[in-house]
Amino acid sequence: MPPKLSKQQIQCVYCGSRIATTRDHVVPKCLFISPLPSDMVTVRVCVECNQEKARNDLYLRDMLVADIHAASNPIAQQLLSGNVSRSFKTNRSDFARAARAKAKYEAMHSSGGIYLGHYPSVPLDGERIASIFKTIVRGLFYKLQKDVLPNDYEYECRRVDGFHVQALISDLQRVGINGPYLLGENVFACYFMYADTNPFLTYWLLCFYNSVFVTVSSEPTTDIVNAAR
């Protein structure tokens, strides 16, 4: 049970328990090039969450711009040849260290099974990536709903194949999903929906550089559902 906060104290949007004393950009600044969009999303967070997210922001950036699907996005490629390349060369990138140690070449095929060649594949830290997307969704939810998603909810993150994303968007639009919310040109977009009976029951489609697509859902844990029966 989070400690009760006074009227002068603000709850951290990310952890939902500590006192918020600083602000954070929900969609990381490092995903953009200068100048930043004027409508960047910020929320009040605690120092601990801010510091952890800063480290994860760079991991997310490096992972996204190095993705083969982002090769046609000019902003991703500008970052890759600039800040990301420098972090790779100076060994400051967690993603690059994992790539050097464990990368291997794997075959890539189109949705129709056509062989597209062999490309380097890097094993990703799944738990860390899930935490990154969960944090972004918590920040976006607060910005939209002015409420904090419960800590004891479950979050599920899935990568969506770019070949299938338009069909997914069409299906979601038929059931009334909101969006797209756009931030920056060809950098970030999201679609989102809430259950009518429970606004904390959510579904999100996050789009980065028009090339990497991730769904995130939040729902009550089994224990919560059983207790409500």
pLDDT of residue 125: 86
pLDDT of residue 68: 87
pLDDT of residue 114: 52
Q: For residues 215 and 203, is the Cβ–Cβ distance under 8 A?
A: yes
Counting beta carbons within 10 angstroms of the beta carbon of residue 64, is it exposed (0 to 12), middle (13 to 18) or buried (19 or more)?
buried
- Residues of the chain with pLDDT below 70 are 1-8, 101-123, 222-229
What backbone phi and psi angles, to 5 degrees, belong to 183? -135, 110
pLDDT of residue 223: 55
Q: For residues 70 and 188, is the Cβ–Cβ distance under 8 A?
A: no
Q: For residues 206 and 183, is the Cβ–Cβ distance under 8 A?
A: no
State how far the Cα of 182 lies from the Cα of 152, in Å rounded to an integer.
29
Closest CA to 75 of 188, 218, 200: 188
State how far the Cα of 14 lies from the Cα of 136, in Å rounded to an integer.
9
pLDDT of residue 99: 78
pLDDT, tens digit, 9 for 90 and up, residues 135-174? 999 999 999 999 999 989 999 999 999 889 999 999 999 9
pLDDT of residue 163: 87
CA angle 169, 173, 179 (to 5 degrees): 80
